[in-house]
Structure 1
Amino acid sequence: MKLAFSTNAYTNYTLPEAVRRIADHGYAGVELLGDAPHAYFPEFGADDEAALVDALEGADIAVSNVNANTAMGYYADAPETAFFEPSVINPDPDLRAWRVDYTKRAVDLAEATGAPAVCLASGAPLPGTLPDEAYEHLLSSLDDILDYAEPRGVDVGIEFEPELLVECTDEALDLIDDVGRNGLGINLDLGHSAVYGEQLRETVEKAAGHITGVHLEDIAGGVRGKHYHLVPGDGDLDFAEAFAALDDVGYDGFVTLELYTYPDRPDEAARRAFEALERYV
């Protein structure tokens, strides 16, 4: 396993500068935020991609994942409830198609930078949309996205989160079965598992063979704790157990720290997280 750090903690910096700063802390990989202010795809052009590739090559760092969970750049002034909107389950077919195309652009960036996967959240059913109807939208959207991603050698990891349509490990596994495509897996956020009330080892063992990437953060209160991302050591998760479980199932990919909650001190968060976890990799 190798440690990576997401640029979503570095939203006060440009994407190339975020890459360089993360590399300076010793990480083997960097996750790219596929959203404003980094790679918001309707505005992320060829010059932006070239500057990113130069930064990656200069820092000698790999890309662990392209994080396409959110598209907040869509809004001039986004309300908090719009966090995952427009989503791939939005009842408006035009908005749903917009988000499918947006995810395809994330796949393009993954292919250009050698990232093995993109991650995507289901979103939550909007008022007036029954969960069963939203689920049908999800299946259709994922088929479209996978038709694009699979020939390009990029996996799509569904990232579950409490209160979304797909909110736990079992629901993600059911989705994988229903879709029936090799290119779909789970971007396994162990903090989300803990908030939902899952035991970390059981979660990892269930997801084994389907893990496209791992997100990691600490959670205060451990299982059933509050969903607020903390630097490892500031909460109650058992990271020795988490890494042992990942090792036991043969996971050898990136474990990415997602600490977007530290935009005013990302270097401190990156440094402390690396010091806390480097013993496990």
Structure 2
Amino acid sequence: MKVALLSLSFRRYHLDKIFEVAGYFGYDGVEIWGGRPQAYPYDMDEARCAHVLELKEKYNLEVPMYTPEVLGYPYNISTPDKKEREETIDYLKKAIDVAKAIGAPRVQLACGHAGYQTNRKQNYQNVLTVMRALTEHAEKVGVDLIMEAVTLMESNTIIFLDDLVELLDDLGSSHVKTMIDTVTPMVHKEVFGDYFEKLGDKMDYIHFIDSDGVSPTHMPVGSGIIPMEALMAVLKKYGYDGWLSSELVSYASEPELSAAREIKSIRKLIEG
């Protein structure tokens, strides 16, 4: 398995700092968050994309995934508003183009909250409308879309394992896959192994963090209630040999300390 550092925890820094830290502490890659000041899609002109390629070469690091911000204003895959859906499609098409330009094989997506007093059936159709447009573009460009199910505190559309199964079945594309954020199954009382049983080779990426079991909080490995050694054993049982990405979004005040600690914790679990 390879280990990535999600740059969101360094959101008060530019990308140069993140690559320097990731390279120094022995990460295999940087999962680039697509927000300012780092890599907002509409800021990523030819020069800035070229700079990412330079950073990859300088620090001998991969960019396994590009992660544009879609869980906050003003973009939302789940929105009932037609104009917002259209703008979200345009924004995420641009993100797909950026991923291609920086050599990232994946773009991570998640569906935000559609709002209260909405209809689940219509909400799902709205998600499909956006995803079909993005899937068509991803197929042309040659980039995979990785849909993450987030917690029910963050969304009311694609949140459970079966939501992922339904969406992937309806889209029917080899360029649409999925992932586990290890917090989500823990909060929803779902079974980790079921993700592999039901999704098979569509299970393509993991955000590997600990959880308090009741909230979306992302905790350092070993500080929550997930038995991380047992979880690693389950991943190995199902033959998972892909990326584990550290996503400590709540540690912006001391991200370098977190990055140094997490790589040691995750490597120890992989090698154990």
TM-score by length of 1: 0.89
Letter in 2 for 1:184: V
Q: Is the 8 A contact 1:186 1:211 kept in 2?
A: yes
Q: Does 1:246 align with 2:235?
A: yes
User: What is residue 80 of structure 1 aligned with on the other side?
Assistant: none
Measured after TM superposition, the shift of residue 69 of structure 1 is 4.3
Deviations 1:101-141 (Å, cap 9, x if unpaired)? 21122212221222221111111112443221111111111
User: Which residue in 2 is equivalent to 1:133?
Assistant: 122
The answer to whether the 8 Å contact 1:84/1:121 transfers is: no
Q: Which amino acid aligns with 1:99?
A: T
What SS does structure 2 have at the residue aligned with 1:115? coil
Deviations 1:193-249 (A, max 9, x none): 1111113233343333112311111112xxx43221111011121222222222222
For residue 50 of structure 1, report the CA deviation from its aligned partner: 2.0
Cα shift at 1:176: 0.8
Between the aligned partners of 1:20 and 1:205, the Cα distance in structure 2 is 38
- How far apart are the structure 2 equivalents of 1:208 and 1:268? 35
Say if 1:242 and 1:208 are closer, same or farther in 2 by CA, change over 3 A. farther
Matches of 1:243 and 1:49, distance apart in 2 = 35
Matched, 1:38 2:27: no
Report the residue type matching 1:7 in the other structure.
Answer: S
**One-letter amino acid of the counterpart of residue 50, structure 1:** A
Please point out which of 89, 95, 100 is paired with 1:111.
Answer: 100
SS in 1 for 2:225: coil
Match for residue 209 of structure 1?
201
Q: Mean alpha-carbon deviation: is it higher for 129-138 or for 256-265?
A: 129-138
The aligned residue for residue 197 of structure 1 is 189
Structure 2 counterpart of 1:149, from 138, 144, 147: 138
Question: Unmatched 5+ residue regions in structure 2?
Answer: none
**2: distance between equivalents of 1:113 and 1:49?**
6
Amino acid in the other structure paired with 1:228: T
AA aligned to 1:57 is E
The equivalent of 2:5 in structure 1 is 5
Asked whether the 8 Å contact 2:44–2:98 carries over to 1, the reply is no
Which moved further from structure 2: 137-146 or 84-93?
84-93
- The 8 Å contact of residues 204 and 245 in structure 1, kept in 2 or not, is answered as no
Contact 1:64/1:256 (<8 A) preserved? no
The whole-number CA distance in structure 2 between the counterparts of 1:69 and 1:160 is: 15
1:20-31 equivalent positions in 2, closer than 5 A: 20-31=20-31
The residue number in structure 1 matching 2:68 is 68
Q: 1:84 deviation in Å?
A: 5.9
- Aligned residues between the structures: 267
Aligned position for 1:47: 47
**Residues 100 and 144 in structure 1, CA contact (< 8 A), matched pair in contact too:** yes
Label 1:212 to 1:247 Cα distance change in 2 as closer, same or farther (>3 A).
same
Aligned to 1:78: none
Structure 1 counterpart of 2:167, from 172, 175, 189: 175
Note if contact 1:88-1:138 (Cα within 8 Å) is conserved in structure 2.
yes
User: Contact 2:20 / 2:59 at 8 angstroms: preserved in 1?
Assistant: yes
- Secondary structure at the counterpart of residue 86 of structure 1: coil
Q: Which residue of 251, 261, 274 maps to 2:263?
A: 274
- Percent of residue pairs bearing the same amino acid type: 26
